Amino acid sequence: MTTRGHGVLLVFVIVGLIMTACAAPSSGGKVAIVNGTPISQADYDKQVKMVQDSMIEQGLDPKSADGKASLDQMRVDILNQLIDVELMRQAAKSEGITVSDADVNQRMEQIKKDAGGQDAFNKSLRDAKITEQDFRNLIVRDQMIYERLYDKITKALPTTAEQVRSRHILLNTEKEANDVKARLGKGEDFAALAKELSQDTQTKDNGGDLGFYPRGVLDPAFENLIFQLKVNEIGIVQTDFGYHVVQVTAHETDRPLSPEVLQTLGEQMVNRYLDDVRSKAQIKRLLVLPPTATPSQ
């Protein structure tokens, strides 16, 4: 039900480890220039090699039509990820954020400990086909930069907000929703009907309860309805998921936000910040795009 912010935590580079791509021609050893800073062909090729091997191991047929189309799109996706990494780095620098070698060393030691020791960590690197140096510089350092940028941007994020608790019964058609609402009007139990009829397998067994949510997290149409309904009032709303028979069970004007909701709102705030950075950036893509791929706007 939630519309989660697509957090950029490790999306920039780690996605490269689970996707695929192939090298493509570029201009003068560079694949892009971001506010005057070049992204090298060598860095691009390094990402390409890792992800291509990974996807082929997972069963991709690079000679099939679908495989070729996937490879074409992944070429563009990897370029966009590298551009986003550079934009994130530049934004962090403008905010006075730095990550020292000592900071990275400390994080690396913790990662190795969490992995079960150096040997287990080395095996993970071999499985991912990435060197420790690349893992350190391409993933860990950027992860730490993002975390510090996240903390600075979200410092003023409120920890309490007006929130509504609701429960729902998800159905396929408007007629089904109207029929269920009519049954509720005759006194049938909401939780029992949710368990019997709801298409939401995650909530049906607990009576359709969604918990407390503030504005800005749930589907907009769903959210508009629950903030309009009075406590115990029942309404119907259509979303991309289907038709919801909804009942508000509580409404609090200043309730502490859950850690999960705080994370979602924080990611949304950072994404808006980085979207603004991207909209103002001077980005020149030098990589020749495959004709079947869709470039980022």
- What's the burial of 10, exposed, middle or buried (CB within 10 Å: 0-12/13-18/19+)? middle
Q: Are residues 275 and 212 in the same domain?
A: no
pLDDT at 47 (0 to 100) = 81
Identity of residue 113:
K
- The confidence score (pLDDT) of residue 9 equals 41
Judge if 105 and 241 occupy the same domain. no
Residues 26 and 110 in one domain: yes
Non-local CB neighbours of 206 within 8 Å, separated by 6+ positions: 191
Q: Which residue reads 């980022």 in tokens?
A: 296
Same domain membership, residue 93 and residue 47: yes
Q: How many domains, in total, are found in the chain?
A: 2
Which pair of tokens denotes residue 29? 């050893």
CA distance 210 to 196: 17
31/136 same-domain check: yes
In Å, what is the CA distance from 182 to each residue of 37, 41, 251, 262?
Answer: 63, 64, 24, 37
In a domain, 223, yes or no: yes
Q: Where are the beta strands (DSSP E) in 258-297?
A: 283-285
Shared domain for 39 and 133, answered yes or no, is yes
Tell me: do 179 and 246 sit in the same domain: yes
Contact 146, 8 (CB under 8 A): yes
- CA 231 – CA 250 distance, rounded (Å): 6
**CATH number of the domain enclosing 34:** 1.10.4030.10
CATH number for position 192? 3.10.50.40
Say if residue 135 is in the same domain as residue 35: yes
Domain hosting residue 231, numbered range: 160-256
Q: Which residues lie across from 256 on neighbouring strands?
A: 160
Q: Return d(Cα 33, Cα 276) in angstroms, integer.
A: 18
Pair 49, 103 in one domain? yes
How does pLDDT run along the chain (297 residues), one tens digit per residue? 654 433 444 444 444 443 333 334 445 589 999 999 999 998 888 887 777 777 788 887 878 888 888 878 888 888 999 999 999 999 999 999 999 999 999 999 999 999 999 999 999 998 887 889 989 988 999 999 999 999 999 999 999 999 999 999 999 999 999 999 999 999 999 999 999 999 999 999 999 999 999 999 999 999 999 999 999 999 999 999 999 999 999 999 999 999 999 999 999 999 999 999 999 999 999 987 666 555 555
Please indicate, yes or no, whether residues 176 and 237 belong to a single structural domain of this protein: yes
Q: Are 266 and 154 in contact (CB under 8 A)?
A: yes
Are 129 and 16 part of one and the same domain?
A: yes
The position carrying tokens 């309860």 is 209
Q: Are residues 98 and 244 in the same domain?
A: no
In a domain, 172, yes or no: yes
**What are the backbone angles phi and psi of residue 31, rounded to the nearest 5°?**
-105, -20
